[in-house]
Amino acid sequence: RKLSKAKLNNLIYKTNIKDIKGSSYSLLTYINKITLLKFT
């Protein structure tokens, strides 16, 4: 039971990191698009 909970927590942790990386990446591309629009 403890092992399964640890595995579950690890899965949640990894998923959260993926979500954070994904959102920060999309935010970066969004900012890049804005700056490109400003300079062109």
pLDDT at 40: 63
d(C-alpha 37, C-alpha 11), whole Å: 39
pLDDT per position as a tens digit, 5-15: 889 899 889 98
* Domain boundary assignment for the chain: 1-40
The share of the chain scoring above pLDDT 70, in percent, equals 95
The two three-digit tokens of residue 4, written as one number: 């399964």
The two three-digit tokens of residue 37, written as one number: 């629009």
pLDDT at 1: 67
pTM of the model: 0.47
